Amino acid sequence: MVIVMKMGASEEQVAAVVADVESAGFRPFINPGVERKVIAVLGEVDVDKAQLADHFSELSGVERVQLISEPFKLSSRSYHPQDRVVNVKGVQIGAGLPVVIMAGPCSVESRSQLLETAHAVKEAGARLLRGGAFKPRTSPHSFQGLGEDGLELLAEAREATGLPVVTEVLDSHDVPLVARYADMLQIGARNMQNFILLKWAGESGHPVLLKRGMGSKVKELLMAAEYILAEGNSQVVLCERGITTFEDSTRNTTDINAVPVLKHASHLPVVVDPSHATGSWRYVPAVARAGVAAGADGVLIEVHNNPAQAKSDGPQSLKPEKFRALVEELRRVAQAIGRDV
Ligand code: PEP
Ligand code: MN
């Protein structure tokens, strides 16, 4: 449940409610920085929730108490009704702001590959540079990424282009290392329910791009986000990257429904990744356009200066000139729904 305080409730009133929540055996979690304080009541205690809600609603300074039936609380709109804006080193994502395009190669492979691609995506209109230094590969024999050398190249590309960097962290032990270089931490589909990693990413205080697991429900994605939010880190962006279905004409199936469903259930920004969702450069533009039309706050596009030679995800990577054309199309789609790129 969440306790909504009256506008202008005093600090003493909030403190008294917090103490009452604690004495009932729950963990209070205050939504900071909003004019009307909202206190989430977290925890599993075997009590009559309706009775408890009645009790809280009679406390001084309380406007109303709302029971939340969903298991996700901090990621829900009941807790935070306004759209959340996530700030990646000055690039703001969410709340109807211009759609943010994040782009770059699947893997950082070399200095020339990364810098060439980074300059190309920047010139085309990308606002975040995304590339992997630690790669989650299905086979241990596939390219695993350059590790810290790759992070250094990403930092160099940020210097050269001014684009903040998004990169994946695969292992909780690497969070401090990756956070030293990256402006936003990506948690990949395969790690969506790696709860220790989620906690560490939350604790880092860095913005997090959380990708939906290929076999995960929207609710499970929101529960995963809950782990990050519960560490006091509100800077979470959700990413629909396609799910596994019986359909095998594409790598995954884009769950476009997830965009409005997530935006209705949660205050967190939503990004669509048509590259991993389709697995084929041919389909990337259409699905990217669909994502923006559906209300996504951003898109993640894999771009490579020479896709034929890419060490990972070449078949789904756009060449820079195709990416440039796509950005223009996305701008027109965004403008058609009263937004921009
Ligand atoms: C990636 O972003 O390069 C990646 C591996 O994505 P996902 O975790 O969605 O498969
Ligand atoms: Mn990839």
Q: Which atom of ligand 1 is nearest to the CA of 136?
A: 5
Q: What is the pLDDT of residue 33?
A: 61
Q: What is the pLDDT of residue 247?
A: 98
CA 106 to ligand 2 centroid distance, Å: 4
Q: Which domains does the chain have, with CATH numbers?
A: 2-66 (3.30.70.1140), 86-336 (3.20.20.70)
- Nearest-CA neighbor of 272 among 263, 11, 264? 263
What average pLDDT does the segment 139-162 reach?
Answer: 97
Q: What is the pLDDT of residue 158?
A: 98
Q: What is the pLDDT of residue 39?
A: 94
At residue 14, does pLDDT exceed 80?
yes
What average pLDDT does the segment 227-239 reach?
Answer: 97
Q: What is the pLDDT of residue 36?
A: 83
What average pLDDT does the segment 22-34 reach?
Answer: 87
Q: What is the pLDDT of residue 35?
A: 75
**Cα 14 from Cα 207, distance rounded (Å):** 28
CA 46 to ligand 2 centroid distance, Å: 44
List helix spans (H) across 266-311: 274-278, 284-294
**Cα 196 from Cα 98, distance rounded (Å):** 33
Q: Give bridge partners of residue 209 from the DSSP assignment.
A: 186, 237
**Cα 311 from Cα 107, distance rounded (Å):** 7
pLDDT digits (tens, 9 = 90+) for 187-223: 999 999 999 999 999 999 999 999 999 999 999 999 9
CA 295 to ligand 1 centroid distance, Å: 21
Q: Which atom of ligand 1 is nearest to the CA of 241?
A: 9
What average pLDDT does the segment 15-40 reach?
Answer: 90
What average pLDDT does the segment 216-234 reach?
Answer: 97
pLDDT digits (tens, 9 = 90+) for 125-137: 999 999 999 999 9
CA 277 to ligand 1 centroid distance, Å: 10
Average pLDDT, the chain: 96
Q: Which ligand is nearest to the CA of 277?
A: 1
Quote the Cα angle for 49-79-56, to 5°: 35
CA 260 to ligand 2 centroid distance, Å: 24
The DSSP secondary structure of 245-278, one letter per residue, reads -S--SSSSB--TTHHHHHHHHBSS-EEE-HHHHH
At residue 181, does pLDDT exceed 90?
yes
At residue 46, does pLDDT exceed 90?
no
Q: What is the pLDDT of residue 279?
A: 98
Q: What is the pLDDT of residue 34?
A: 67
Percentage helix, strand, coil for the chain under 3-state DSSP, each rounded to 5: 40, 20, 40
- Nearest-CA neighbor of 289 among 327, 249, 250? 327
Q: Sheet containing 62-66: give its strands across.
A: 27-31, 38-42, 2-5, 62-66
What average pLDDT does the segment 222-239 reach?
Answer: 98
What average pLDDT does the segment 33-55 reach?
Answer: 88
Which residue's alpha carbon is at the smallest distance from atom 6 of ligand 1?
A: 188
pLDDT digits (tens, 9 = 90+) for 163-179: 999 999 999 999 999 99
Q: What are phi and psi of 255, to 5 degrees?
A: -90, 85
Those residues whose C-beta lies under 8 Å from the C-beta of residue 249, and which sit 6 or more positions away, are none
Q: Which atom of ligand 1 is nearest to the CA of 188?
A: 8
**Residue with token string 């920047």:** 122
Q: Which atom of ligand 1 is nearest to the CA of 312?
A: 3
pLDDT digits (tens, 9 = 90+) for 69-113: 889 999 999 999 999 999 999 999 999 999 999 999 999 999 999
Instruction: Give the pTM.
Output: 0.96
